[in-house]
Amino acid sequence: MVGVSADQLSVYDAIRLRRDVRAEFTGELVDDDTLLRILDAAHRAPSVGNSQPWDFVVVRQAETLRRFAGHVADKRAEFGASLPADRATTFAPIKIDGIVESGTGVVVTHDDSRGGPQVLGRASVPETGVYSTVLAIQNLWLAATAEQVGVGWVSFYDPEYLRELVGLPAGIKPVAWLCVGPVDAFQQVPDLERFGWRSGRSLAEAVHHETFGG
């Protein structure tokens, strides 16, 4: 898709191109205008009861990035040590973050109280609040892909550590640390497939008719 501008890229193209980026960051910072467009796309996500329960903490201080990267490295080591030998060998070369290399972290948070005590549409399924925040992350990811900006979702961390690191008040839950930055290119095959951790399922396996398994 080289030479195609963001406003020419179809949503289907962006979905196909999207990757969880780890090793492909150029080391350059995403410029402020582009980052704001990406965050604007995230903020336009649908949300239950129009509650918009998300916030975005942009982290660029080098020391904060290094501290979080060190914490994530410790959690990675803990996970690796918990694996049986064959899975540990498969896991060893897999890079799990680009915290420092991307130069920009976006911490996406969730406020379950946003929208007041009666959030329209959430009474029967309270999880729809967090679902809304995750939809904002998907919007961010697809918009970034259209801009040729990579995103990597980091999930090897202690939520309480991250809460303290970026000063989240009580009641605000961290949902994701996203590494955001320009990339050399997007991998054609997802990392976990390339490194043999797990292959994807076919669409035929995931589609059912009328009943599960039908």
**pLDDT tens for each residue of 71-111:** 999 999 999 999 999 999 999 999 999 999 999 999 999 99
Q: Is pLDDT above 90 for 171?
A: yes
CA angle in degrees (0–180, nearest 5) for 135-141-143: 105
Q: What pLDDT was estimated at residue 214?
A: 78
Q: Is pLDDT above 90 for 5?
A: no
Annotated domain spans of the chain? 26-193
Hey, what's the torsion of the CAs at 108, 113, 114, 115, to 10 degrees? 150
Query: Residue 89 contacts by C-beta under 8 Å, 6 or more apart in sequence?
Result: none
Where do runs of H (alpha helix) occur along 18-61?
32-43
pTM (whole model) above 0.95: no
Q: Is pLDDT above 60 for 1?
A: no
Q: H or E element: which one contains 181? A: strand 172-182
Q: What pLDDT was estimated at residue 212?
A: 96
**pLDDT tens for each residue of 111-154:** 999 999 889 999 999 999 999 999 999 999 999 999 999 999 99
What is the percent of the chain where pLDDT is above 90?
90
Contacts 24+ apart (CB under 8 A), 129-132: 129/48, 129/51, 129/53, 130/53, 130/175, 131/48, 132/45, 132/46, 132/47, 132/48, 132/51, 132/52, 132/53, 132/54
Q: Is pLDDT above 90 for 7?
A: no
Stated length of the chain: 214
Q: Is pLDDT above 80 for 3?
A: no
What is the percent of the chain where pLDDT is above 70?
97
Closest by CA to 72, choosing from 174, 198, 162, 194, is 162
Average pLDDT, the chain: 95
Q: What pLDDT was estimated at residue 9?
A: 83
Average pLDDT rounded to a whole number, residues 167-173? 97
Residues 26-193, CATH architecture:
3-Layer(aba) Sandwich (3.40)
Average pLDDT rounded to a whole number, residues 22-44? 97
Q: Is pLDDT above 60 for 2?
A: no
Beta carbons of 54 and 132 less than 8 angstroms apart = yes
